[in-house]
Chain A
């Protein structure tokens, strides 16, 4: 659990920095004088305006958070399940996709996901065997079905 007030103050500082960076980025952006464009149509115009607006909002957020009296908290849920889900999804989307064939990557991801989150513990061999078979069969069926549907149904060239 993270206090909302603290999170808002940190966010306000980050947003103010982003706003100023956007303002600076827009201001220093190419103005295309060589192409003799109208000065009002420079590409950095809207980024500068947005930078200023975000900075103003960040200041208001900061002031509002400082004045906040309520003790609201951010519930992150079960951190182990959250981290496990995030890690598996990242490994699949960033690590496996594009490096090994899609259907194999999908099989590994789904089977791994099901195995990790349905594990009940214990040393019963039959139960363990059943757990492994369910994870592998789910991964195989889902991978085959999804790959076939998109490759042959929607004609998507899978990664």
Chain B
């Protein structure tokens, strides 16, 4: 009841024409940023932070949240239309969204993605308001040992779920990503590692240039090397945009489950929207009756991915507000913006500014309403992108990729990083190495390194707490089962045990 009262009073406080005006333009800008390959939600929030200095606290934070929600949603546009995830969060969306576009159903796919995003964010908002304090308290119990396994878990799961045939290649991509994260100053003693004498590498390899290269430039090379082109034309027979209620009702369990998975993934520090999407997608694929359709244009797969990644946004706000620990890269920028605007995130926020949680929930709700309206009304406009010949679109995408790599740190070196990752990404992709574990490895490398060494310092070199603490033990079990399930030796052993059991049952 207290939560409802807090939410309603925040709703009244923010329901002014000027606030609604800010919601519209910031969300629209977010959709555009998210839909342009190479421009990520993180970069959009970071760039917009500098434009919000002059705004008051609530308006500034509202604008940044609208940008964040809009950009994560906007990533689905290019994922569906071009098979280039506008943001890494939309990589799973492309798996079924692009095949649907190739079948001429781009408009309906975008309508479904809009519905999935909206419902996912709403599920996340409800969980944010209802369970933020107890969940934040549970997350406080995570120590270095648990964070270590959390990072391993992220890379293993990503390698497992995104592999295009051989799981081993998924793991290799994850290890390569972790190795890239080892470049630059280490997080504990500030020792510069593997910089090969290049001063620009002292700070490490930037995540955004690497992502822009691996997802943007590599895709440009792939698209341009296909003479026939991979951009699909819309089919005039399939003009419907607004999702049918029967489709949404049919996948209601998937939507609810994906919303919950996305929110939970958002709560886990440093994981982010892409894992929310992949985890939701994987859960949907595992339980679906139409499993064979996944990857070929499944409505269920598309909805699961979009619901999952959008639900991460409110989920990532939970540790960001209550612990000052970002749930995603974009929420890390948001924490910095909160400090700039006089909000001190952390456990004290519930005492110092108890209304702030509800204000954020209402801001997220406004952004959700805006993506629903803009997403459904502007779908036809995005379909028009399909009609732009790739010879005209691709140089513009590359120019944006160059700016995307450069804008955050304004270093020419980052443009070179983008180019190198683009070429390496193209080669690896051609050889069936997935890109998601590589990127995740770069994100989680620092967390893995610091947690391992901090844990060992805490235990005075004893490795047993990594295996014996309850949450750690749970992670170890899941990781071990995940890896062993892919080993032929383990598969043979399990089948022998099962066959032996059934034979002895028969003989008995």
Contact = CB atoms under 8 A, between A and B. Distances in A.
Interface of A: 4, 7-8, 11, 15, 18, 22, 25, 29-30, 32, 35, 37-47, 50, 53-54, 57-58, 60-61, 64, 74-79, 81-82, 84-86, 88-90, 92-94, 97-98, 106, 109-110, 113-114, 117-118, 138, 142-143, 146, 150, 154-159
Interface in B385-426: 389, 391-392, 394-396, 398-400, 402-403, 406-407, 410, 412, 415-416, 418-419, 422-423
A57 B168 CA distance: 7
A20 B396 CA distance: 41
A124 B449 CA distance: 64
A110 B226 contact: no
A18 B172 CA distance: 12
B47 A154 contact: yes
A105 B395 CA distance: 12
Contact of B224 (A11, A85, A90, A93): A85
A110 B395 contact: yes
B189 A35 contact: yes
Interface in B160-213: 166, 168-169, 171-172, 175-176, 178-179, 182, 186, 188-189, 191, 193-194
B406 A92 contact: no
B221 interface: yes
14 contacts: A29-B191, A30-B191, A35-B189, A40-B453, A41-B188, A46-B182, A47-B193, A60-B168, A77-B227, A82-B224, A114-B395, A154-B407, A155-B51, A156-B407
A41 B224 contact: no
Given A39-B461, A114-B391, A159 B406 contact: yes
Contacts of B188: 41, 43
B419 A89 contact: yes
Contacts of A109: 395, 398-399
A50 B168 contact: no
A8 B431 contact: yes
Contacts of A50: 175, 178-179, 182
Candidate in B47, B193, B403 with the most chain A CB atoms within 10 angstroms:
B403
Nearest to B176: A54
Contacts of A156: 47, 403, 406-407, 410
A82 B422 CA distance: 13
B457 A38 contact: yes
A46 B449 contact: yes
B431 A7 contact: yes
B227 A78 contact: yes
B178 to A, nearest CB: 6
Contacts of A90: 419
A29 B224 contact: no
Which secondary structure characterizes the binding site on chain B? helix
Contact of A150 (B179, B403, B456): B403
A113 B179 contact: no
A142 B176 contact: no
B507 interface: no
Contacts of B432: 4
B430 interface: yes
Contacts of A82: 221, 224-225
B64 interface: no
Contact of A97 (B47, B51, B175, B412): B412
A117 B391 contact: yes
A43 B191 contact: yes
Nearest 4 Cβ contacts at the A-B interface: A77-B225, A40-B456, A113-B395, A82-B225
Interface size class of B (residues with CB under 8 A): 35 or more
B396 A25 contact: no
Contacts, number: 171
Interface in B345-369: none
Interface string B441-484: 00000001100111011001100000000000000000000000
Given A85-B224, A86-B423, A155-B50, A74 B430 contact: yes
Candidate in B194, B392, B402, B453 with the most chain A CB atoms within 10 angstroms:
B402
A4 B433 CA distance: 12
Contacts of B225: 76-79, 81-82, 85
A113 B418 contact: no
B304 to A, nearest CB: 29
Contacts of A7: 431
Nearest to A158: B403
B220 interface: yes
Contact of B175 (A11, A57, A98): A57
A78 B448 CA distance: 41
Contacts of A45: 452-453, 456
A81 B224 contact: yes
B178 A113 contact: no
A60 B168 CA distance: 8
A40 B415 contact: no
A39 B193 CA distance: 17
B59 interface: no
A74 B468 CA distance: 45
Contact of A43 (B172, B186, B398): B186
Nearest to A85: B224
A102 B166 CA distance: 43
B288 interface: no
Contact of A41 (B176, B222, B456): B456
A145 to B, nearest CB: 9
B98 interface: no
B266 to A, nearest CB: 26
A83 B460 CA distance: 54
B145 interface: no
Nearest to B462: A40
Interface in B219-253: 220-222, 224-227
